[in-house]
Amino acid sequence: CRLLHEAGIPLLEALATGAELANHAVLSRQLLAAREGVAAGKPLYAALPRKHSFPGWIVPALKAGETTGQLGAALKHIEDYAGSAARERLATALALLEPLLLATLTAIVGGIALSFFLPIFSLLGAANQH
């Protein structure tokens, strides 16, 4: 929506296009609901559904951007912050996943090694008894 808004596309059209392009059904419905509210004369921050799936800091950021006439800058700030937060969550998830994968692979390789060596040791033990 930010790029469309900054390109001079009317907000109603930008919200409709954003809803079409969203790969998330709930987000798409919420953008369409916001579009209906904006079409009825509400500001964007007030047009968002009461129970929306956006983080709590987005509505105040939109309100500040709209009341100061800097909606594009507010949308850019929201985009930057959300992008960096998503990258941080991904990095954290990968950092937690790496030791788990290492432990799993170690257990698999250890199991394979045991399944290979235990029969050999059993045969050697049986041969030593005779």
pTM, rounded to two decimals: 0.64
Domain with 109, as residue range(s), is: 2-129
Is the four-CA dihedral 10, 13, 15, 18 of positive or negative sign?
Answer: negative
Cα distance between residue 66 and residue 73, in whole Å: 10
Number of domains in the chain: 1
The pLDDT, as a whole number, for residue 82 is: 87
- CATH number, residue 43: 1.20.81.30
In this model, does residue 24 exceed pLDDT 90? no
The pLDDT, as a whole number, for residue 38 is: 92
| DSSP calls for 104-121 | HHHHHHHHHHHHHHHHHH
The pLDDT, as a whole number, for residue 108 is: 98
Which of 30-44, 47-61, 111-125 has the lowest average pLDDT?
47-61
Among candidate residues 11, 17, 68, the one with its CA nearest the CA of residue 40: 11
Q: Residue 87 belongs to what H/E stretch?
A: helix 71-129
